[in-house]
C-alpha cells in the first residue's frame, strides 16, 4: 500500500504514515490541495513554519500510461497569498510513485540557520545537514548530487532565488537528460527555502512496478489513449515539430500577443522569435526539435536549443518564456532569450513571472525595451547575487510595479499574466480572473477553443460563452492535474471521443474501481471548491477575481478591444 | 483584386511565408486553399484580417488571409 512520508523540519524528525481513507482516491493536484487545505492555516505567513510543502505524483504516474509522469507541488503561495499547485515533468514523479509514496509532506522550519538536504528512499526520508552546495545554481546542484549519490538519483532543488526566498522562485526537477523542468509558478521555491532545504534526492533502489488491479483492461485502455494522442494533429504532429512556440505567429495574427508590456497586441519582429524560425534554427545547429520532459511522453513538445557553435543552451524552451522576453520586452534575438531561459533555470526563478516582470521593469525605466543583454546582466549581476535591486526583481511583476510606481502591471492575485491578451482573447481573461492560482493560463486553457479551433470555437472577441468555456475547462483541468497527465492530453480529449473514456478506464483498471465521467467532473469541482474555500479563508475573495483596471480603460490594437466583463458576469463563474 | 496571403508552420514547406496574390473578384478562402495544393481537411485555422474566417468567406481587395494547420501549444 502507498504511504505518506512526513518530514518535520522543526524537530528534524520524519515518519511514514498510512494514507487516510479520504485521501486514497486522490493524487496530484487533488491530493496536494486537499492536504494544504486540511493542514495549513489559511492566514499563515507562507514563509513561516506553519506552511507545508507537499509533493504528490498523479493517480496514473508510474504506470505505462503515456504522458503520466507529472509531479504536483502544493503549498500556500508567498506570491498570491492563496493556495498553489504547480506541476512539472522530470524524473521525480515516476520514482516516487514506484517507491509507493503517495505524497511527501514537509512541515515546520528549522530553529537555527542550518541548511539541509532530504534523502528519500524506499525506507523513508533522512534529513542531512547541507553545507557544500549552498549558493550554487541548479545545474551545479544536479551534477554534484549525481556525483555524490549516483547518476540515476532523482533531484528536486532550489537555486539562489529559492534560498533568498524570492517570491518568483521555483523548484527545479531533474529531467531525463539531467537538465531541468520546473514547478514554476507561485514562488514554491521560496517555501522550500523557508524550510532551509537546498535539495531533495530520490533513490529509486527497491522501486517496484506500480500495482495494476486489472492489467488486461489497463493495457487496452492505454493503447486507445496513446492512439488518440498520436492521431490528433496538435499532440501528434504540431507540438513535436514546433513546440509550444508555434503560438507566437498565431497569437500575433489574432492580435492577442501582448507586446511592450501589454500596450499592443502584435509584435513587429514576431517572425524572428516564432516557432517556425526556432525549428529552422534548432535543425541547422544540430539541436533537437523534439524531446520529452519525462519517460513515457509521446508528445515530445520540448526541444534542445543550441548556440551558433552547436553547444547546448537550453531545453524546455516554451512559448510563454519566448513571448515574455520577446514580444512583451521587445527582444528580437532568440539567442538572447535562450540564454536568459537557461539562466532562469539555473537561478531557479519562474520564467513566466520573470518575463512579465521584465516588461514592467522596462516600463519603469530600469532598462530599455528590447535590451536582451540587459536582461542577462540583471539576471546574473542582480537577481542571482541577491542585491537589493535583485530582490525587488525576484519578487516578480507586482513587486517591481509597486516599488517603481508603475500602474500598468499585468497581474491577478499578484501573479503575472502570461502570453495571451485577455482583451482580445476574452475566455482566457475569465480564467486569469477566477483561477484559484492567480493569473494562470494552464488552469483553464480557453486558447484551445478561442483561437485554435480545438473543442469547437468560441469567438475570442465576444463575451458570449466565455464564462461557461472557462468553467468547463477549469473543472476538467483540475481533474486531469490529479492524474499525473500532461495537460496537453486535453487537445485530443476535446476532439477525439475515445480519448477521455480511455483515460478514465486506465484509472479504473489501475485501482479496480468504477469511476464514470460524472465522477471525474465532480472531482474537478471538488478540487476547485476546496481551493477557493482556502483562498477565501486566506482573505482572497471575489474582489480579487478581477483583472487590473488598465485592461478596461486601454484598448489594445489591432482590434481596439477592452476588457468589458462586469463584476457580476465574472462572479457567475462560481455558480456550479 | 490583390490580397496578402500568409502561410504558417508546415504549410510553408515547398511554398512561401508571405505573398501578394492577384485574385478574381468573388474568390473565397476555399479556392485559395485548393490552389495551394492543400485540402480542406488540412486547414486548422483561417484568419482573415486578424479574425477567424471560414472556408466559405469571400475575399476582398486588400485582405490579409492567414492559413494554419491544426496546431497548438501553451
Q: Chain B closest CA to A558's CA: distance in Å? A: 8
Domain assignment present for residue B59? The answer is: yes
Which CATH number goes with the domain that contains B58? Answer: 3.10.20.30
Do the domain assignments include residue B74?
A: no
B46 found inside a domain: yes
**Closest CA relative to residue A424, chosen from A564, A328, A556:** A556
Check residue A2 and give its pLDDT.
93
Domain range annotation of chain A: 3-202, 250-420, 422-495+514-576
Give the pLDDT confidence of A234-282 residue by residue, as tens digits. 999 899 999 999 999 999 999 999 999 999 999 999 999 999 999 999 9
- Cα(A288)–Cα(A304) distance, rounded to whole angstroms? 5
- How near does any CA of chain B get to the CA of A78, in Å? 25
CATH number of A422-495+514-576: 1.10.599.10
CB-CB under 8 Å, B68 with A244: no
Report how far residue A317's alpha carbon sits from residue A345's, in angstroms, rounded to the nearest whole number.
Answer: 11
DSSP string over A362-406: HHHTSS-TT-HHHHHHIIIIIITTT-HHHHHHTT-HHHHHHHHT-
Number of A/B CB contacts below 8 angstroms equals 89
For residues A82 and A213, give the distance between their C-alpha atoms in angstroms, rounded to a whole number: 37
How confident is the model over B56-74, as pLDDT tens digits?
999 999 999 999 999 888 7
Residue B64 maps to a domain = yes
Question: What was the pLDDT predicted at A268?
Answer: 98
For residue A337, give the nearest of A352, A347, A351, A322 by alpha carbon. A322
Residue B20: which domain range?
A: 2-68
Q: Does the domain at residues A3-202 carry the CATH identifier 3.40.50.720?
A: no
Tell me if B17 is assigned to some domain: yes
Min distance B15 CA to chain A CA atoms (Å): 14
**Residue A362 grid coordinates:** 522596462
pLDDT of A1 strictly over 80: no
Contact residues, chain B, for A237 at CB < 8 Å: 10, 69
Q: What Å distances lie between residue A259 and A64, A149, A209, A356, A419, CA to CA?
A: 42, 45, 48, 11, 9
In a domain, B73, yes or no: no
- Establish if B30 belongs to a structural domain: yes
Chain A residue numbers with beta carbons less than 8 Å from the beta carbon of B73 are: 238-239, 242-247, 275, 301, 319
DSSP letters along A430-468, please?
HHHHH-TTSS-GGGS-THHHHTS-SSS---TTS-TTHHH
> Please, is A498 exposed, middle or buried when counting C-beta atoms within 10 Å of its C-beta (0-12, 13-18, 19+)?
middle
Cβ-based neighbours of A102, under 8 Å, separated by 6 or more: A2, A3, A4, A19, A23, A27, A31, A56, A57
pLDDT of residue A486: 96
For domain A250-420, say whether CATH 1.10.569.10 is its number.
yes
Radius of gyration, alpha carbons of chain A = 22
Among B10, B44, B47, the residue with its CB nearest the CB of A253 is: B47
Domains A3-202 and A250-420 alike in fold: no
CA dihedral of residues A13, A18, A23, A29 (deg, nearest 10): 40
Edge-to-edge strand order for the sheet containing A13-18? A13-18, A3-8, A101-107, A53-57, A71-76, A83-88
Whole-number pLDDT of residue B73: 81
| B4-37 pLDDT tens trace | 999 999 999 999 999 999 999 999 999 999 999 9
Number of domains in chain B: 1
Residue A264: Cβ within 10 Å count: 18
The pLDDT of B42-50, averaged and rounded, is 96
Q: Is the ipTM of this complex over 0.85?
A: yes
Distance CA A376, CA A347 (A): 12
Is a pLDDT exceeding 90 seen at residue A41? yes
Amino acid at each position: 500500500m502507498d504511504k505518506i512520508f512526513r518530514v518535520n523540519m522543526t524537530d528534524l524528525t520524519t515518519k511514514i504514515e498510512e494514507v487516510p481513507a479520504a485521501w486514497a482516491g486522490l493524487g496530484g493536484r487533488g491530493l496536494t490541495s486537499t492536504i494544504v487545505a486540511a493542514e495549513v492555516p489559511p492566514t499563515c505567513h507562507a514563509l513561516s513554519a506553519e506552511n507545508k510543502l507537499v509533493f504528490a505524483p498523479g493517480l496514473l504516474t508510474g504506470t505505462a500510461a503515456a504522458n503520466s509522469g507529472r509531479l504536483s507541488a502544493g503549498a500556500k503561495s508567498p506570491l498570491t497569498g492563496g493556495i498553489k499547485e504547480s506541476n512539472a515533468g522530470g524524473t521525480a514523479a515516476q520514482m516516487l510513485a514506484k517507491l509507493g509514496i503517495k505524497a511527501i509532506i514537509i512541515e515546520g522550519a528549522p530553529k537555527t540557520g542550518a541548511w539541509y538536504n532530504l534523502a528519500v528512499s524506499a525506507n523513508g526520508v533522512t534529513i542531512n545537514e547541507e553545507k557544500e552546495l549552498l549558493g550554487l545554481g541548479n545545474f551545479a546542484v544536479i551534477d554534484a548530487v549525481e556525483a555524490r549519490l549516483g547518476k540515476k538519483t532523482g533531484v528536486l532543488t532550489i537555486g539562489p532565488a529559492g534560498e533568498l526566498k524570492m517570491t518568483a522562485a521555483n523548484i527545479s526537477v531533474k529531467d531525463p537528460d539531467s537538465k531541468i523542468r520546473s514547478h514554476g509558478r507561485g514562488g514554491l521555491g521560496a517555501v522550500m527555502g523557508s524550510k532551509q532545504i537546498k535539495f531533495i534526492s530520490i533513490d529509486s533502489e527497491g522501486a517496484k512496478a506500480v500495482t495494476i488491479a486489472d492489467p488486461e483492461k489497463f493495457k487496452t485502455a492505454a493503447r486507445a489513449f496513446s492512439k488518440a494522442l498520436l492521431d490528433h494533429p496538435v499532440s501528434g504532429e504540431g507540438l513535436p515539430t514546433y513546440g509550444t512556440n508555434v503560438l507566437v505567429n498565431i497569437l500575433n495574427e489574432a492580435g492577442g500577443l501582448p507586446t511592450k508590456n501589454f500596450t499592443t497586441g502584435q509584435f513587429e519582429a514576431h517572425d524572428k522569435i516564432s516557432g517556425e524560425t526556432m525549428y529552422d534554427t534548432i535543425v541547422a545547429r544540430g539541436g533537437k526539435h523534439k524531446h520529452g520532459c519525462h519517460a513515457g511522453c509521446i508528445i515530445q513538445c520540448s526541444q534542445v536549443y543550441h548556440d551558433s557553435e552547436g553547444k547546448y543552451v537550453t531545453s524546455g524552451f516554451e512559448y510563454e518564456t519566448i513571448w515574455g522576453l520577446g514580444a512583451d520586452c521587445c527582444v528580437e534575438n532568440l539567442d538572447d532569450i535562450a540564454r536568459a531561459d537557461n539562466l532562469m533555470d539555473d537561478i531557479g526563478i519562474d520564467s513566466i513571472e520573470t518575463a512579465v516582470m521584465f516588461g514592467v521593469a522596462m516600463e519603469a525605466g530600469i532598462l530599455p525595451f528590447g535590451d536582451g543583454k540587459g536582461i542577462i546582466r540583471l539576471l546574473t549581476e542582480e537577481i542571482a547575487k541577491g542585491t537589493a535591486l535583485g530582490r525587488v526583481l525576484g519578487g516578480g511583476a507586482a513587486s517591481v510595479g509597486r516599488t517603481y510606481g508603475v500602474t500598468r502591471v499585468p497581474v491577478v492575485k499578484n501573479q503575472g499574466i502570461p502570453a495571451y491578451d485577455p482583451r482580445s482573447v476574452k475566455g482566457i481573461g475569465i480564467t486569469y480572473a477566477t483561477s484559484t492560482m492567480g493569473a494562470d493560463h494552464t488552469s483553464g486553457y480557453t486558447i484551445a477553443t478561442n483561437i485554435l479551433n480545438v473543442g469547437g470555437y468560441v469567438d475570442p472577441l465576444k463575451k458570449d460563452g466565455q464564462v461557461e468555456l472557462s468553467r468547463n475547462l477549469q473543472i476538467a483541468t483540475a481533474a486531469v492535474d490529479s492524474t499525473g497527465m500532461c495537460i496537453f492530453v486535453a487537445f485530443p480529449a476535446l476532439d477525439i471521443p475515445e480519448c477521455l473514456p480511455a483515460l478514465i478506464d486506465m484509472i479504473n483498471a489501475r485501482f479496480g474501481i468504477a469511476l464514470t465521467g460524472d465522477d471525474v467532473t465532480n472531482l474537478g469541482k471538488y478540487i476547485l471548491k476546496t481551493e477557493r474555500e482556502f483562498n477565501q479563508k486566506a482573505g482572497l475573495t471575489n474582489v480579487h477575481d478581477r483583472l487590473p483596471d488598465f485592461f478596461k480603460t486601454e484598448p489594445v490594437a489591432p482590434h481596439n478591444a477592452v476588457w468589458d466583463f462586469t463584476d457580476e458576469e465574472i462572479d457567475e463563474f462560481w455558480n456550479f | 483584386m490583390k490580397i496578402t496571403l500568409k502561410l504558417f508552420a508546415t504549410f510553408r514547406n515547398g511554398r512561401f511565408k508571405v505573398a501578394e496574390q492577384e485574385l478574381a473578384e468573388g474568390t473565397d478562402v476555399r479556392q485559395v486553399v485548393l490552389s495551394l495544393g492543400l485540402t480542406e481537411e488540412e486547414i486548422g485555422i483561417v484568419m482573415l484580417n486578424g479574425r477567424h474566417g471560414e472556408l466559405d468567406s469571400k475575399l476582398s481587395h486588400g485582405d490579409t488571409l492567414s492559413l494554419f494547420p491544426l496546431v497548438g501549444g501553451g
